[in-house]
Amino acid sequence: MNRRVFIVMAMLGWGVMAFGVLGLFHNSARTHPGEWVKWFLGGALVHDAVLAPVVFGVALLLGRVPRPWKASLQGGLVAAAVVTLTVYPFLRGYGRRPDNPSVLPNDYSSGLIRTLAVIAVVTAGFAAGAWWRGRKSGEVAGAAAASLVGDRRDEGP
């Protein structure tokens, strides 16, 4: 780190943060700082304490997947999980209201299933490609094959 650059940027950044905090308290009738801070910090807590460990758990399980399919499967799972997480609030229909059917008008479970199906097909395509190239190059099994695959077996998180 360049010390001088950091000190200048840190002072600037903390100034901007202080402005945000002042606004938060200045406008406390609307921001409810006590409630707000729970949501502001809660996201980081949920990520570090729940989401990240779950991802590492799944990554460990994937350690057993045979190598031609592993990279594709990882990629497919990442895409599927992120899309599901994003659509989840719509899927549950939290914002639906009886007096306004134009809110959340889609069938989100069907939309999600169709999206996951597309991801599955693409994943299978990549896996088949890696397997095919691995077969062609014999024992070197995909090392040079896809840019998706490398050649070490002791992968943990």
Partner 1 sequence: MRRRPMVRMARGVTRLFDPPAGARIGPLKEGFFKSRLHDERLSAQLGIALGVTFTICFVTGLLSHLIQYPPAWFTWPPRPAGLYRLSQGVHVATGIASIPLLLAKLWVVYPHFWTWPPVRNVLHLIERISLLPLVGGSIFLLFSGLANIGLWYPWRFFFPAGHYSGAWITIGALIVHIGAKATLTRRVLARDRGRSEAPGDGLSRRGFLGVVGGTAGLLTLLTVGQTFRPLNRLAILAPRRPDVGPQGFPVNKSAASAKITDDHVGPSYRLLVTGAVTTALALSLDDLRALPQHEATLPIACVEGWSAETSWRGVRVAELLQRAGAAPDADVTVESFQASGLYKASALNALQARDPDTLLALEINGETLHIDHGYPVRLIGPNRPGVMQTKWVEKLVVS
Does residue 152 come out as left (phi exceeding 0), alpha (psi in the -120 to 50 range) or beta? beta
Kindly tell me which residue out of 54, 78, 120, 121 binds partner 1, with binding defined by CB under 8 A: 78
Kindly tell me which residue out of 49, 50, 55, 135 binds partner 1, with binding defined by CB under 8 A: 55
- By CB under 8 A, residue 140 contacts partner 1: no
- By CB under 8 A, residue 49 contacts partner 1: no
Kindly tell me which residue out of 114, 121, 125, 136 binds partner 1, with binding defined by CB under 8 A: 114
In the complex, the smallest distance separating the C-beta of residue 133 from partner 1, rounded to whole angstroms, is 14
Binding mask 82-111 for partner 1 (x = CB under 8 A): xx-xxx-xx---xx-x-xxxxxxxx-x-xx
100: which DSSP letter?
Answer: -
Q: Which is nearer to partner 1, 135 or 155 (CB)?
A: 155
- By CB under 8 A, residue 144 contacts partner 1: no
Q: In 10-133, at which residue ranges do the beta strands (DSSP E only) sit?
A: none
Report the candidate in 70, 78, 55, 80 with the shortest Cα–Cα distance to residue 155: 70
Rounded Cα–Cα distance for residues 146 and 110 (Å): 33
- By CB under 8 A, residue 127 contacts partner 1: no
- 24-41 in b/e form (b: 16+ CB < 10 A) is beeeeeeeeeeeeeeeee
